[in-house]
Amino acid sequence: MSGETSVGNYDLIIGLGATGLSMARYLDSQQQAFAIADTRYQPPGLAAFEEEFPDADIWLGPLDAELLRKAKRLLVSPGVSLAEPALQKAREAGQEIIGDIELFCRATSRPILAITGSNAKSTVTSLVGDMAASIGKKVGVGGNIGLPALDLLAEGAKDLYVLELSSFQLETTLSLQAQGAALLNISEDHLDRYASMQDYIFAKQRIFHHAQHVIFSREDDQTQPIHGQLAPRISFGLDAPPSDRDLGLKEIDGKTWLVRGEEALISAKEVPLAGEHGLLNVLAAYALAAAADLPLQQLAAAVKSFSNLPHRCQQVAVKQGVTYINDSKATNLGASLAAIRGLQKDFPRLWLIMGGEGKGQDFSPLKQALGASVAGVALIGRDASLLAEQLPEKIEHWNAGDLQTAIRDLAAKAAAGDAVLLSPACASFDQFTSYSKRGEVFATCVQQLPA
């Protein structure tokens, strides 16, 4: 029922894009009338929406409080800030404001494993999905990665859902009762949308509400539940597990193993994900698998066959002995520092490409974090100067301006055995439509270099 709308009998979807379209499809399947509003005059997906729902009402431009007041519910896409004045008025008036994950939770009774964090969400979500599928589970993987959660419902019955959730999605979610809820890590991100770092942390911590198992990192105190939780806790870290419930590393017969308590799961050498952050990702995935009562001893094959996701520490090519690595998905400083730490053991010298939209981050940790292995930094994008101010003076750096120029500069400077790492620590929207497009341009430019 995407056609006629009258006061009070329809839902108003705010924000188009993939999530808005998924909400429209779901409401239509439930024969619930809806309309859509978007602050942009040419939102992405508008043509596809109009083709699929030609009778739906669409309002484009600044949100109008009177328009919102007429709707039964406001269904807000994660790209729309709840700080919008019209939304604040609606909330003050007691109007229901929810998002796609809340609709999903109300629509299914199947177990959900939920994953959030500043970094590595997509990797852990995908790995857990592979683990469950490897033992024959019908699993739906999506949310903030791949298919929007509501589109998963159209695939038919599942044994288990594995959802990556952003802080924006968690803000509009009330009914999530995850069988396992994991907060992987916290670093500065989205401070252009949150009033403070504490507000950002609170949004992430919402994933723990009503969870049956709470999963956090011993490497990051900010991931530990702030509020008292009655649910069993499972921690993961690079040290020995403090209890039989927890996961970590242990030396067994001279080799490092990933373990749960005293139970050996897989040798660290068999983990294909590079660096300490790769081990943490696998430990987090095992913790989620334990929360879902999956047989841990049967999951090693899924781990061994797993590879990095596109644009996440992905080797693109080796040209004249120089390894080029695409980590375009690193859109905040924490992600970039994790990649640098993970790779500096494998390469004597790293050359970095950083820059873009900084999203209000504090880049000062760069002064202490970049060690002798970093030979130089080519800066690109809008906030290149902000990054330059925080780089150690001893490290060569320059403003290359754009990605193509940065690659040409570094190809001339790097020597055989070195690595060139695109790990921007910034969003891409000043120069690209997405981080994936940025990564694709990087790969294309690298492939064009002399062999």
Give the count of domains, the chain: 3
Beta carbons within 10 angstroms of residue 293's beta carbon: 11
Q: Which amino acid is at 366?
A: L
Selection from 442, 363, 359, 360 nearest residue 404 by Cα: 442
Residue 6 belongs to some domain of the structure: no
Q: Given the structure tokens 């003050």, which residue do they identify?
A: 92
Distances, alpha carbon 76 to alpha carbons 20, 31, 63, 386, 429, in Å = 8, 19, 12, 33, 22
d(CA 16, CA 205): 26
Q: Please state the φ and ψ torsions of residue 21, each to the nearest 5 degrees.
A: -65, -40
- Which residue stretches of the chain have pLDDT < 70? 1-7, 190, 228-229
Residues 135, 78 share a domain: no
Q: Per residue in 376-410, pLDDT tens?
A: 999 999 999 999 999 998 999 999 999 999 999 99
Reported as a single tens digit per residue, the pLDDT across 214-257 is 999 999 999 999 876 679 999 999 999 999 999 999 999 999 99
Q: Provide the pLDDT for residue 4.
A: 47
Residue pointed to by tokens 């994790």: 338
CATH for 150: 3.40.1190.10
DSSP at 308: P
φ, ψ dihedrals at 266, nearest 5°:
-160, 145
Question: What is the pLDDT at residue 229?
Answer: 65
**How far apart (Å, rounded) are the C-alpha atoms in residues 415 and 351?**
10
Rounded to an integer, what is the distance from CA 298 to the centroid of its chain?
A: 27
Q: Which of 98, 119, 147 is the last residue of a domain?
A: 98
CATH number, domain at 324? 3.90.190.20
CB atoms within 10 A of CB 341: 15
The C-alpha atoms of residue 395 and residue 102 are separated, in whole angstroms, by 47
CA distance 423 to 332: 9
| Helices and strands of the chain, counted as H and E runs | 16, 20
* Catalytic-residue membership of 399: no
The torsion angle over the Cα atoms of residues 145, 303, 268 and 224, rounded to 10 degrees, is 40
Alpha-carbon span 409 to 416, nearest angstrom:
15
Running DSSP on this structure, what letter comes out for residue 304?
H
> 64 and 118: one domain?
no
**Residue 7, pLDDT score:** 54
58 lies in the same domain as 186 = no
- 390, 395, 397, 403: CA torsion to nearest 10: -100
Environment class of residue 196 by beta-carbon count within 10 Å: exposed (0-12), middle (13-18) or buried (19+)?
exposed
Which ranges of 206-305 would DSSP assign to H, the alpha helix?
A: 275-291, 300-304
Judgement on whether residues 28 and 171 belong to the same structural domain of the protein: no
**Cα radius of gyration (the chain):** 23
Residues 259 and 133 in one domain: yes
CA distance 276 to 358: 25
Statement to judge: residues 234 and 350 lie in one domain: no
Residue numbers of the domain that contains 55: 11-98
Is 193 in the same domain as 278? Answer: yes
Look up residue 213 and give its amino acid.
H
- Residue 195, classified by CB atoms within 10 Å of its CB into exposed (0-12), middle (13-18) or buried (19+), is exposed
pTM score, two decimals? 0.83
Q: Which of 119, 158, 185, 190 is catalytic?
A: 190
Catalytic residue selected from 119, 144, 308, 326: 144
> How many residues can be counted in the chain?
451
Task: Name the DSSP class of 34.
Answer: E
**Do residues 62 and 178 share a domain?**
no
194 in the same domain as 60: no
Q: Are residues 233 and 284 in the same domain?
A: yes
Judged on CB neighbours under 10 Å (0-12, 13-18, 19+), 405 is: middle
Helix (H, G, I), strand (E, B) or coil at 447: helix
Burial label, 305 (beta-carbon count in 10 A; 0-12, 13-18, 19+): exposed
In a domain, 114, yes or no: yes
Instruction: Choose the final residue of a domain: 44, 67, 98.
Output: 98
Look at the alpha carbons of 92, 25, 101, 329 in this order and tell me if their dihedral is positive or negative.
Answer: negative
| 190 carries an active-site annotation | yes
Domain at 85, CATH number: 3.40.50.720
- Six-digit token string for 266: 């897989």
In a 13 Å sphere around the CA of 28, the CA atoms on its Cβ side amount to 18
Q: Let me know if residue 5 belongs to a domain.
A: no
Give residue for tokens 């429209």: 24
121 is catalytic: yes
Instruction: Provide φ and ψ at 359, rounded to 5°.
Output: 60, 30
Please indicate, yes or no, if residue 374 is contained in any of the structural domains. yes
Assess if residue 2 is contained within a domain: no
Residue 4 lies in a domain: no
Residue 227's nearest CA partner among 261, 248, 251, 201 is 201
Same domain membership, residue 370 and residue 340: yes
Note whether 341 and 423 are within 8 A (CB): no
Residue 435, token pair as written in the block:
């981080």
Q: Which of 304, 324, 346 is the last residue of a domain?
A: 304
Identify whether residues 144 and 283 lie together within a single domain: yes
Amino acid of residue 145? I
- 309 found inside a domain: no
User: Is 163 within 8 Å of 96 (Cβ atoms)?
Assistant: no
- For residue 296, being part of any structural domain is answered with yes
